[in-house]
A = this chain, B = another copy of it.
């Protein structure tokens, strides 16, 4: 005799109860008792019946009580079930969407745009916002220029689109004159402009191998230089964070040390970057509750992410970090929309 049915056979009543419980706990932050639930769940059951159902939920590992007589709080599994099948997402107010759109204008520089997105996520959700900076592998190179800085240093300017310019300083193995540099740039521009960085690089490597002996040395140098220029994307490993301080609001005073570690991770960024990079291959909004992220530091937090696309390619991920009891019904659409708007803004500028 099985008296605790598998989760997918949860009765409607139990589901409704869990839902009310999670909603209440997210709102109030206090363990929810049977009495409160019997009043608010809209099920017309007495507190005693509620208690029976709650005992079942506890057996299934969906809720737990901090101590004998303190009401129940959702477990990570409870949040998971809630998010997966009980949550009703509120569509965002169209004014809110409009306001977001206005702050992510396509004519902003990429860096400003990314920082705005992160800041918006944080401001709107009152939690920490984060944006993985866009990768450029599929961005078209518009123009490449060299500029001599000193004897063996040259500034490389890569024009990606009308709002984005990257530059890098390269050390050369010998001195090139301004004229030579200009020739090299012309040579490269003829060959690579209009392609994305990946294929530019492939082509350069191919040319370098294939026709090494047939070319004059300047052109060979040009190819090498171009290859170096395209190779090192100095911003590639970056993530822009915002509003970390909001997390202090949710901090239980017990765990200052945990919080410290989290803030240290925010400074280091490596951990956050790892998390975001894992999400880059997924589609749509992803939610990590508690330990699901696989990063110890985030055990007590939830993370909501969404990838954003430019020209049909996912180029980055953004999201928020907040307490496990965050208002998922609001946060999910916010993250979703922000990802779309950021993608759109980056896209409409080529």
Contact = CB atoms under 8 A, between A and B. Distances in A.
A165 B162 CA distance: 20
Contacts of A159: 147, 149, 155
B165 A167 contact: yes
Interface string A140-168: 00010101011001010101001101010
Interface in A193-245: 242-245
Nearest to A260: B248
Contacts of A162: 149-150, 153
Q: Number of contact residues on A: which range applies?
A: 20 to 34
Interface in A250-278: 251, 253, 256, 259-260, 263-264, 266-267
Contact of A157 (B153, B155, B263, B267): B155
A44 interface: no
A88 interface: no
Contacts of A155: 157, 159, 165
A267 B244 contact: yes
Contacts of A256: 248, 251, 253
A179 to B, nearest CB: 14
A109 interface: yes
Nearest to A259: B248
A190 interface: no
A249 interface: yes
A10 interface: no
A169 interface: yes
A248 B267 contact: no
B249 A260 contact: yes
B163 A157 contact: no
Interface of A: 109, 143, 145, 147, 149-150, 153, 155, 157, 159, 162-163, 165, 167, 169, 242-245, 248-249, 251, 253, 256, 259-260, 263-264, 266-267
